[in-house]
Amino acid sequence: MSVLETQGITKRFGEVEALKGVDLNVGKGEVLGFIGPNGAGKSTTIRVLLGIIKANSGEAKIFGQDVWKDAVELHKRMAYVPGDVNLWPNLTGGQVIDYFISLRGAQVNKERKLELVERFQLDPTKKCGTYSKGNRQKVALIAAFAAEADLYILDEPTSGLDPLMERVFQQCVIEAKERGSSVLLSSHILSEVEKLCDHVAIIRDGAVIESGSLTELRHLTRTHLYIETKASVDLSDELGVFEWKQEKDGYSFQVDSDSLSSVMKKVSEHGLLKVESAPPTLEDLFMRHYETGGDNS
Amino acid sequence: MTNHWFRRVLPIALWQLKQDRVRIPVWIMSFLAVTLTTVTLFESLYPSAEDRMQLAHSVVNPAITALLGPAYGVDNYDVGAILAHQMLLFTAVVVAVMSILIVTRHTREGEEEGRAELISSLPVGRLSNLVSTLLVQFIVYAILSLFIGLALVSINIPSVTIEGSFLYGAALGVTGFFFAAVTAVMAQLSETARGTMGLSFAVLLTFYLIRAIGDVSYEPLSWFSPLGWMLESRVFVENNWWMIVLVFGVAVLIGMFAMYLNAIRDIGAGLLPSKSGKPHASKWLKSPLGFTIRMQRTSIIAWSIGMFVFGATYGSVLVETDTYVAEIEIMAQMLGEDLGTGIELIEQFIVMLGVIISIAATIPMILSVYRLSKEEKNNRIEQVAATALSRRKLLGSYVVTALIVSLLVMGSAAFGMALAGTLTLDELAFSTAFNAIIVYLPATWIMIGLAALFVGLGKFKGLTWLYLGYAFIVVYLGGILEFPSWMKSLSPYELVPGLPVEEMNWSALFSLLMIFVALIIMSLQVYSKRDLKG
């Protein structure tokens, strides 16, 4: 059963069509990576899901309930972390954490809160006005993870964190997943998405243009290859070969998954000395969708 | 060695002046305008020695002394003496406020926001920024003193002597410089700009209160306040320049102390241990209503005190009603045609004060509701709306807070006017003055309802202010311009019975209450239906 399911949600702001039909699906205990460039509609989608703005058409359900009509009821089981955390400068981080937890209708579990404060290395006695961006983000993260939720909606939650804290965040997500919670993680940091997410949805210009498990998506894309051969070779015009580049001792290029065997056959004719292959990174996937324009949408 | 501490003071000073090229001239012009307007007003209000003696008679009372300082030269209460008594302390306090704001900006705020670090990385002296700030303040207040002096001389009133005029300016200027030095010290102590301002305002308030208590009950106490020294210069009466020199001397010592403190501390650090806050929220703070009230606590207290002083100021001049109404034609027109005499006239005056004070007291209520849109503008609502708190409850807690604000500010204004009124005027009953203001509560709630409606809609917020302005114009100019009655009845304040002159009208108040309830229901409805912006 889907925890979160949207079908063709659209949203217009005046003349601008911000969402042109977004379909998302997050299953129980699943982490969905929601990626796309700035202005693609990630945050707008999330704000529809949170019932902060109302979709013009389409259906958006969480736990089978309508995200707009049943917002308050739903929010009791959800936690949200925005990318840009704005807090009240004259309250301490600790106070704000407690306020958020209480607003969600949960009890503040002091032990759990202190444990997270410790892990994220936040000083909860300092006023929010003195916090850096990263520290403000920690406040929102601690508030989100200190009380268990069935669904976490995280909108670029690590943009201000250092690598060490990013790791703590990733552990938190993994723990939540192990508890059976679902996560919608919107992110720019593709390595993070690769590490945490089972499924990925790519949004561009207000529509989801690609979604599926990472393995499925990888299949759609190219493999990186580096080869060294006895004789010189030039495959730059070969079907399915991209970014052919001559290096010091060999060649690096990318191959479409479909053309892999034919290309390898060609290469071996030139006396193959060395082969290194790297699976396509999410970045390649991402770039392919953005650089090549509209061939998938 | 000097290079080490004071290198590049002048360029930094010029840079600071450049940043304040609008702010400082506006402040100085305002002080000039206020001083010149009031002195000409006094001249025209009290043209004869008799008028002035009558005024002198009425101002010698504890309430006025506590507010404005002791009256000097009451046996010959000329325009100079009136100006020094009625305006000097008030203006000086505002000059001190200007000083605190500007010095905080150039010291701790720059440090907090990292600008100071950037400057310190350049070949400048360790104390250059602080010294530049104090130097700029010295120049600014020298100019202010000189301009005020010249302006007062230029209006050519015999009792406003040349010496007194320049002393008046110097008294203002030296107060500004004194608080510049005080703020410079506080900027070394506190780690934040907010803290610096808080401490400096606390010092200002303490000195003001010490002087108030000293002047009323135990004179030697006033010697513990620089505001007391400044007033001891007895401008236009005795012209004691030494008092000004004393304030200036102590200010220089305080400034040097600030430099010493600046020299022994690290940049970015404060000498007072930064007060670490509570790591947990209290039960009260965890509730939306408690949270909303807590966020507005400071301004609620400030407005309540302000409205108390406002009420008390009017209350203490009730005894003067005859003079005002006789001298100021507009005032008579505002009160309407059937002017009474004695207590009757005072009661008519109280009715008008009731409306005006209520309209002023409505400002903090509207601001209180509008805090919610400010939260939206500052992108803080999104995180709150993503919790299980419903929009109705969210807006509701702001409306309830505004209602609490309405009780507090109206209550303190009414209490202030009734207290000062009964202290100075024997025939006045406490409840008469108190009720004259408090009866307007339902009218102010209409404004709260409107403010909530526009927050609910997320637009047209200016309309509440326009409507409040309209209500004010109806009261202020309605009599003079002879507005038709339907124009008057568009203002909720006009529907309230003007106690104590008119009869109590419960049904009118009840209708206002019903309109308020309807507005709130509508606003909750629209607020839960619209898109939030941030």
How sure is the predictor about B330, in pLDDT bands with cuts at 50, 70 and 90? low
Task: Flag whether B271 is in a domain.
Answer: no
Q: pLDDT tens digit string along A255-289?
A: 887 788 888 888 888 888 888 888 777 777 777 77
> What is the interface pTM, i.e. ipTM, of the complex?
0.84
Q: Same structural domain for residues B222 and B347?
A: no
Q: Are strands A222-229 and A272-278 parallel, antiparallel or unpaired?
A: antiparallel
How far is it, in rounded angstroms, from Cα A284 to Cα A294?
A: 16
A127 and A257 share one domain = no
Phi, psi of B368, deg, nearest 5: -65, -45
Task: Flag whether pLDDT at B140 surpasses 90.
Answer: yes
Q: Tell me the chain A residues in contact with residue B286 when contact means C-beta distances shorter than 8 Å.
A: 98-99, 102, 108
Q: Is residue B3 part of a domain?
A: no
Instruction: Provide the mean pLDDT of chain B.
Output: 90
Please check whether residues A82 and A32 belong to one and the same domain.
yes
Alpha-carbon distance A292 to nearest alpha carbon in chain B (angstroms): 33
Q: Nearest C-alpha of chain B: how many angstroms from A92?
A: 6
Task: Of B68-72, B202-206, B354-358, give the lowest mean pLDDT range.
Answer: B68-72
A132 and A249 belong to one structural domain:
no
pLDDT over 80 (residue B392): yes
Residue type, B434: F
State whether B232 and B344 are in the same domain: no
- How far is A258 from chain B, CA to nearest CA, in Å? 45
Contact state of A104 with B382 under an 8 Å Cβ cutoff: no
Domain for residue B276, yes or no?
A: no
Q: Cβ distance A214 to A193 under 8 Å?
A: no
> Do the Cβ atoms of B388 and A84 come within 8 Å?
no
| pLDDT tens track for B101-133 | 999 999 998 888 778 888 888 888 889 999 999
Task: Band the pLDDT of B217: cuts 50, 70, 90.
Answer: confident
Shortest Cα–Cα distance, A149 to chain B (Å): 11
User: Mean pLDDT over residues B277-285, rounded?
Assistant: 91
- Asked if residue B496 and residue B430 are part of one domain, the reply reads yes
Cβ neighbours, 10 Å, residue B92: 25
* Nearest CB to B386; choose among A75, A96, A99: A75
Residues A255 and A169 in one domain: no
Window 79-98 of A, Cβ < 8 Å to B:
80, 82, 84-92, 94-98
Q: Beta strand pairing status for A199-204 and A31-35?
A: parallel
In a domain, A295, yes or no: no
Same domain flag for A111 and A204? yes
> Does residue B156 sit at the A interface (CB-CB below 8 Å)?
no
The answer to whether B379 contacts A75, with C-beta atoms less than 8 Å apart, is no
User: Is omega for the bond preceding B220 within 30 degrees of 0, making it cis?
Assistant: no
> What's the full length of chain A, in residues?
297
Q: Are both B291 and B256 inside the same structural domain?
A: no
pLDDT for position A80: 96
Question: Tell me: the pLDDT tens digits for B167-186?
Answer: 999 999 999 999 999 999 99
A-chain residue closest to B268, CA distance? A130
In a domain, A244, yes or no: yes
Q: Which one of B191, B280, B387 has the shortest CB-CB distance to A94? A: B280
In A, residues 96-125, which contact B (CB 8 Å cutoff)? 96-100, 102-105, 108, 110, 117, 123-125
The larger pLDDT score, comparing residue A246 to residue B441, is at B441
B21 and B102 both lie in a single domain: yes
Segment B476-492, tens digit of pLDDT: 777 667 788 888 889 99
The DSSP code for B504 is P
Q: What is the CATH number of the domain that holds A256?
A: 3.30.70
Clarify whether residues B345 and B239 are in a common domain. no
Instruction: Supply A131's token pair.
Output: 């916090």
B5 part of a folded domain = no
Calculate mean pLDDT across residues B77-98: 93
What's the domain range around A35? 2-217
Judged by a CB distance cut-off of 8 A, whether residue B279 touches chain A is: yes
| B95 shares its domain with B166 | yes
Same structural domain, B258 and B191: yes
Instruction: Answer yes or no: do A151 and A71 share one domain.
Output: yes
B275 domain residue, yes or no: no
Q: Per the domain annotation, does B207 fall within a domain?
A: yes
With a pLDDT cut of 90, the percent of chain B lying above it is: 63
Averaged over B300-310, what is the pLDDT? 90
Q: Is B57 helix (H, G, I), strand (E, B) or coil?
A: helix
Residue B205 resides in a domain: yes
Residue of B nearest to A76 (CA): B388
Taking contacts as CB-CB distances below 8 angstroms, the residues of chain B near A92 are 276-279
- Contact assessment for residue A133 and residue A160, using Cβ atoms and an 8 Å cutoff: yes
Q: What is the 3-state secondary structure (H, E, C) of B122-154?
A: CCCCCCHHHHHHHHHHHHHHHHHHHHHHHHHHH
Beta strand extents in A130-266 (DSSP E only): 151-155, 182-186, 199-204, 207-213, 222-229, 241-246, 251-256
Residue ranges for chain A with pLDDT beneath 70: 219-221, 290-297
Q: 10 Å Cβ neighbour count for A132?
A: 9
Please check whether residues A130 and A243 belong to one and the same domain.
Answer: no
Per-residue pLDDT at A296:
40
A57 contact B CB<8A = no
Number of domains in chain A: 2
Question: Which of A81-95, A193-207, B244-258, B340-354 has the highest average model confidence (pLDDT)?
Answer: B244-258
Within a domain: residue A296?
no
Q: Which of B382, B388, B532 sits opposite A76 (nearest CB)?
A: B388
**Does the distance separating the beta carbons of B388 and A99 come in below 8 Å?**
no
Task: Tell whether A164 and A97 lie within a shared domain.
Answer: yes
Q: Is the pLDDT assigned to residue B496 strictly greater than 50?
A: yes
CB-based contacts of B371-374 (< 8 A; 24+ apart in sequence): B371/B292, B371/B295, B371/B296, B371/B398, B372/B398, B372/B455, B373/B455, B373/B458, B373/B461
Is A49 within a domain? yes
pLDDT attached to residue B180: 97
What part of B 500-529 touches A (C-beta under 8 Å)? 529
In a domain, A290, yes or no: no
Give the whole-number percent of chain B exceeding pLDDT 70: 96
| Residue A64 sits at the chain B interface (C-beta within 8 Å) | no
Note whether A188 and A231 are same-domain residues.
Answer: no
Q: Is residue B278 part of a domain?
A: no
Does residue A89 lie in a domain region?
yes
Rg for chain A, CA atoms, rounded? 23
Q: Is residue A288 part of a domain?
A: no
- Range in A214-228, B188-202, B438-452, B492-506 the model is least confident about: A214-228
| Chain A residues with CB-CB distance to B195 below 8 A | none
Interval B94-109: pLDDT, tens: 999 999 999 999 999 8
Mean pLDDT of B295-307: 91
Mark whether B435 and B375 lie in a shared domain. Answer: yes
Return the CA Rg of chain B.
Answer: 26
CA-CA-CA-CA torsion sign (B368, B372, B374, B380): positive
* Residue A192 belongs to some domain of the structure: yes
- What confidence score (pLDDT) does residue B327 get? 63
End-to-end CA distance of chain A: 28
Q: Rounded to whole angstroms, how far apart are CA atoms A47 and B383?
A: 10
Domains held by chain B: number: 2
DSSP 8-class letter at B223: G
Residue numbers of the domain that contains B26: 10-263
CA-CA distance, B443 to B472, in Å (whole number)?
13
Choose the closest CB to A94 out of B279, B382, B390. Answer: B279
Pick from A168, A144, A170, A176: which is nearest to A26 by CA? A176
Q: Residue by residue, what is the 3-state secondary structure of B367-386? A: HHHHHHHHHHHCCCHHHHHC
- The two three-digit tokens of residue A203, written as one number: 């949004």
Same domain, A176 and A45: yes
Pull the structure tokens for residue B35.
Answer: 């001083």
Question: Which of B229, B263, B297 corresponds to the end of one domain?
Answer: B263
Model pLDDT for residues B6-63, shown as the tens digit of each residue: 888 889 999 999 999 999 999 999 999 999 998 988 888 788 888 888 788 777 777 6
**One domain for residues A148 and A27:** yes
Mark whether A208 and A234 lie in a shared domain: no
* β-pair partners for A274: A228
Nearest CA in chain A to B286: A99
Count CB neighbours of B503 within 10 A.
8
Chain A residues in contact with B191 by the CB 8 A cut-off are 130
Task: Give the Cα separation of B188 and B192 in Å (integer).
Answer: 10
* A 254-283: CB under 8 A from B: none
Pairing outcome for strands A16-27 and A151-155: unpaired
Q: Bin B234: left if φ > 0, else alpha if -120 < ψ < 50, else beta.
A: left
- Cβ of A52 within 8 Å of Cβ of B389? The answer is no
What pLDDT is attached to residue A295? 43
Q: Are residues B217 and B306 in the same domain?
A: no
Of B277, B378, B531, the CB nearest to A54: B531
Tell whether B336 and B409 lie within a shared domain.
Answer: yes
